[in-house]
Structure 1
Amino acid sequence: MARNLQDHILQTASELFYSQGIKATGVDAIVKAAGTTKMSLYKYFPSKDDLVLAHLRRSREAMLKRILAGIEARASEPRAKLLAVFAVFDELLSSPEFRGCPFINASAEFAEAANPIQRAAVEFSDAFRQILADLARTAGARNPDVLSQQLAMLISGAIVSEQMRRQSGAMRTVSAAAEILIAKSLADAA
Structure 2
Amino acid sequence: MARNLQDHILQTASGLFYSQGIKATGVDAIVKAAGTTKMSLYKYFPSKDDLVLAHLRKSREAIMTRILTGVEARADQPRQKLLAVFAVFDELLSSPEFRGCPFINASAEFAEQANPVQLAAAEFSDEFRQLLTDLAEQAGAAHPDELSKQLAMLISGAIVSEQMRRESGAMRTASAAAEILIENSLAATKA
Do both proteins adopt the same fold according to a TM-score greater than 0.5, normalized to the shorter chain? yes
* CA-CA distance at 1:189 after TM superposition: 1.0
Distance, in Å, in 2 between the alignment partners of 1:83 and 1:164 is 23
* CA-CA distance at 1:17 after TM superposition: 0.1
Q: Read off the aligned partner of 1:83 and give its amino acid letter.
A: L
Aligned to 1:33: 33
1:161 aligns with 2:161: yes
* CA-CA distance at 1:128 after TM superposition: 0.3
TM-score by length of 2: 0.99
Aligned to 1:64: 64
Structure 1 SS opposite 2:178: helix
* CA-CA distance at 1:98 after TM superposition: 0.2
Q: Read off the aligned partner of 2:120 and give its amino acid letter.
A: A
- Residue correspondence of structure 1 range 4-153 to structure 2 within 5 A: 4-153=4-153
Distance, in Å, in 1 between the alignment partners of 2:28 and 2:172 is 40
Provide structure 2 residue ranges, at least 5 long, that are not aligned to the other structure.
Answer: none
Distance, in Å, in 2 between the alignment partners of 1:189 and 1:49 is 46
Aligned to 2:189: 189
Number of matched pairs: 190
Over residues 43-73 of structure 1, what are the superposed CA-to-partner deviations in whole Å (9 max), with x where a residue is unaligned? 0000000000000000000100000000000
What is the RMSD computed on CA atoms of the aligned residues?
A: 0.3
Structure 1 consecutive aligned stretches of length 4 or more whose deviation exceeds 4 Å: none
Distance, in Å, in 2 between the alignment partners of 1:8 and 1:79 is 40
Structure 2 SS opposite 1:22: coil
Q: Read off the aligned partner of 1:115 and give its amino acid letter.
A: N
Over residues 59-115 of structure 1, what are the superposed CA-to-partner deviations in whole Å (9 max), with x where a residue is unaligned? 000100000000000000010000000000000000000000000000000000000
Identity %: 84
Distance, in Å, in 1 between the alignment partners of 2:32 and 2:7 is 15
* CA-CA distance at 1:187 after TM superposition: 0.4
* CA-CA distance at 1:116 after TM superposition: 0.2
Structure 2 SS opposite 1:141: coil
Distance, in Å, in 2 between the alignment partners of 1:129 and 1:86 is 13
